[in-house]
Structure 1
Amino acid sequence: MRIGTSYFGSRAVRHVAGDMERLRLLGFTDVLHTFSEEDMEYYRDSVRDIAAESHARGLTVYMSPWSVANIFGGQALSKFVGYHPGECQVGSDGKTYPAACLNSEKLFELMIRWIDAVRAAGADVVFWDEPHWLLYETGLFDMDPSVWGCRCARCKDLYRERYDAEMPHEETDEVVGFKHDSAARLLFRLSAYAKSLGLRVAVCLLPMLKSERDWQHWHEIASHPDIDIFATDPYTMLGETGLDDYYSLGAEKFVSFYAGKVKELCAQYGKEGQIWIQNFMIPRGREEEVAVAVRAAYGAGIRNIFAWGFEGSANMGFLRCDEPQAAWASYTAAVREAARQDEGDADTTRPDRGELA
């Protein structure tokens, strides 16, 4: 069984080394280090040293494009969108928003440089974290909930080529399909390059199965030969509504539903399934729900479980749990118990000494 966590908020190598040692002692197998545009510019050597400290403790190292171009998950600022406004998404309201258009070739070039940088820094796995178009639910932008993107000239031309029609102002089923296909094309181009450099590739899609189109998109991503690990992150405490209707069913049912979907796809396509557990913004008194989420993922057959993030995200005030250590303890106890159970289940399938003789 694989047990992991994201790690961010420090580039002081000796401090990070101590944290990696704590993960080793807890039985963790993996760690995800965020790698932002700022890291590309100023912290390449530091991240390389951090990856080396992680490897020295037997940890597999993931790296994610933390808020790069504001189209991946994370809480970092993007230089790209400020320097290249012409490459940004245009909303259905006609306004330009500070997030790159997924059909931008300059974005693709940026991401190729990012892959080169994380490979040089020592990544084992690149983690495409929540690739998305304009997303009101994230609260990133001051925008009306009905606004969608992208309707830039580039996207409208590509839409016309595909459908022989003008892109509508409404987000129709065809528009959703066009957006899914554009996102998939970008991910597949980037993943092929990463694989050519010897990196493994993980993709984490947002838990938003609202239509058959969305489910087809999951199939397309999970089935692609350059994708090794397919994941989603059904975070159970995001406020009143979450991202979809399943959120309101509670932690156990919400996580079980999405973990089951991941398991189904990965069994069909021979991929490794992964579920991410919320360990940020946990309200005081609800820390037990972290363990509930872990047990639900494990019960659905997932054997690769990560948390976002290390020690209840204590190093970032915006994401910090009300009681970070309590939230972290809930996660670590639950995944260690799952690992013990998994090891016990494996032991029951092994021949006893008499059979070996």
Structure 2
Amino acid sequence: MVELGFAWHHSKQPKHARADFEEMVSNNCNSVLVAASEDDIEYWYPNLVQIVEQAKDVGLRVWFNFWAFGGIFGGEPPSIFLHENHGKRQITAESREAVPAACINRKEFQDYFYERVRKVTREMKIDGVFLDEPHYYPMLSESEFTCVCDACQAKYEHDMGLPMPAEYDEEVRTFREQSMYEFLVATCKIIKQSRSSIETCVCVIPSSVGSMGMPDWDRLAAIKEVDMFASDPYFSVFGENRSWAIEMAKKTVATAKRYRKRSQLWIQMFRLPMGQEKAVASLVPEYVRLGVDSVFGWCYLANKGTTIASDEPDLLWSLVTEEYKKMK
């Protein structure tokens, strides 16, 4: 059976989380993604351990998402690291502005992130780690790319043999993508070293989006320590149509299969405009017919009650769960 689930980042009380998980099971889910921000891990860690156990107890596989960590993974929560380490942020090339995203080439951020990855993977009964949309801060212009901090400039000169140029060019693109690739490889190796049975999933921003430092899809899928390759073709978010989502889905499944990896696709259940509910829900069977191994929705209850809720969250939730129930 295909893996079916939703992202979840709701009540941090285990008994309330269990009720949510039981509802997911009643809607034919067999998996859940627990999204935990930096603040969640710092403040709610004991309860997060129990929440994972509650999910396992009701029969769900558990993916763990380091939600919006350092501003380099997808998500809305603010970053404790950025708050406490203003000087370790990505720096723009022209204005030398510190932007709200950590520099992946800085040892301080690597140590901060890897320490928490090790702790979670050693102490929680999770089945997998989900690395969501790893990216650089969006480029403002060819003269305002990131990152040009001292750590990046030193690494660039070491790796490329020349000082970093002031304008974004092919060499800068290569350097950024290689740095992100190395960061993700190191992360996946740490996960496997902590517990070899934990799966890793890398979710990429669809390829039609402008350069955000994401390495080539094939390079990522080919990483030995990556078990699942995913994308989130949210056609409404990216100003595209439904057929674009299908094409991105086909590309995702094909990329995963080339490297004998499992595939995962995400459906948009946040900020969805009224009238698009059926178009999104009907992607579930479409994706399954394409041969995808895992389908997830972001997120539980269609983000009802949040500032990024869909226009008709109850309707969207109902339609998506109806499709889930049809899956065998």
1:140 — aligned with what?
Answer: none
Gaps in structure 2 of 5+ consecutive residues: none
Q: CA RMSD in A?
A: 2.1
> In structure 1, how many angstroms separate the alpha carbons of the residues matched to 2:286 and 2:147?
36
2:316 — aligned with what?
Answer: 327
> In structure 2, how many angstroms separate the alpha carbons of the residues matched to 1:214 and 1:115?
22
My pick for the range that moved more, 119-128 or 184-193, is: 119-128
Offset of residue 121 of structure 1: 2.9
Within-5 A mapping of 1:1-12: 1-12=2-13
> In structure 1, how many angstroms separate the alpha carbons of the residues matched to 2:299 and 2:96?
36
Structure 1 residue aligned with 2:187, among 187, 190, 209? 190
Indicate conservation of the 8 Å contact 1:44/1:121, yes or no.
no
Alpha-carbon displacement from aligned partner over 1:8-43 (angstroms, at most 9, x marks no partner): 132122111111001111110110111211122111
- Which AA in structure 2 matches 1:325? D
Structure 2 residue aligned with 1:99, among 81, 85, 101? 101
Structure 2 residue aligned with 1:258, among 242, 245, 248? 248
Offset of residue 52 of structure 1: 0.9
Offset of residue 267 of structure 1: 1.1
Within-5 A mapping of 1:1-357: 1-92=2-93, 93-119=95-121, 120-135=123-138, 147-198=144-195, 199-209=198-208, 217-238=216-237, 242=238, 247-248=239-240, 250-251=241-242, 253-316=243-306, 318-337=307-326, 339-340=327-328
**Relative to structure 1, is the Cα distance of residues 87 and 232 closer, same or farther in structure 2, using a 3 angstrom cutoff?**
same
**Relative to structure 1, is the Cα distance of residues 309 and 210 closer, same or farther in structure 2, using a 3 angstrom cutoff?**
closer
**Relative to structure 1, is the Cα distance of residues 213 and 150 closer, same or farther in structure 2, using a 3 angstrom cutoff?**
closer
- Which AA in structure 2 matches 1:121? M
**Relative to structure 1, is the Cα distance of residues 295 and 170 closer, same or farther in structure 2, using a 3 angstrom cutoff?**
farther
**Relative to structure 1, is the Cα distance of residues 210 and 314 closer, same or farther in structure 2, using a 3 angstrom cutoff?**
closer
TM-score, scaled to structure 2: 0.92
- More helix as a share of residues: 1
Offset of residue 212 of structure 1: 11
Indicate conservation of the 8 Å contact 2:180/2:213, yes or no.
no
- Which AA in structure 2 matches 1:221? L
Offset of residue 107 of structure 1: 1.3
- Which AA in structure 2 matches 1:94? R
My pick for the range that moved more, 87-96 or 290-299, is: 290-299
- Which AA in structure 1 matches 2:178? D
Offset of residue 302 of structure 1: 1.1
Residue 282 of structure 2 aligns to a residue whose secondary structure is helix
- Which AA in structure 1 matches 2:102? A
Offset of residue 256 of structure 1: 1.4
**Relative to structure 1, is the Cα distance of residues 216 and 75 closer, same or farther in structure 2, using a 3 angstrom cutoff?**
closer
> In structure 2, how many angstroms separate the alpha carbons of the residues matched to 1:145 and 1:10?
42
Offset of residue 276 of structure 1: 0.7
Structure with greater Cα Rg: 1
> In structure 1, how many angstroms separate the alpha carbons of the residues matched to 2:46 and 2:211?
44
Offset of residue 159 of structure 1: 1.4
- Which AA in structure 2 matches 1:4? G
Alpha-carbon displacement from aligned partner over 1:73-132 (angstroms, at most 9, x marks no partner): 111111101212222100123111121111111111112222133221322211111111
Indicate conservation of the 8 Å contact 2:143/2:166, yes or no.
no
Indicate conservation of the 8 Å contact 2:64/2:130, yes or no.
yes
**Relative to structure 1, is the Cα distance of residues 211 and 220 closer, same or farther in structure 2, using a 3 angstrom cutoff?**
farther
- Which AA in structure 1 matches 2:81? F
> In structure 2, how many angstroms separate the alpha carbons of the residues matched to 1:101 and 1:185?
13
Indicate conservation of the 8 Å contact 1:17/1:54, yes or no.
yes
1:353 — aligned with what?
Answer: none
Residue 147 of structure 1 aligns to a residue whose secondary structure is coil
Residue 134 of structure 1 aligns to a residue whose secondary structure is coil
Gaps in structure 1 of 5+ consecutive residues: 137-142, 341-357
> In structure 2, how many angstroms separate the alpha carbons of the residues matched to 1:307 and 1:99?
26
Indicate conservation of the 8 Å contact 1:45/1:121, yes or no.
no
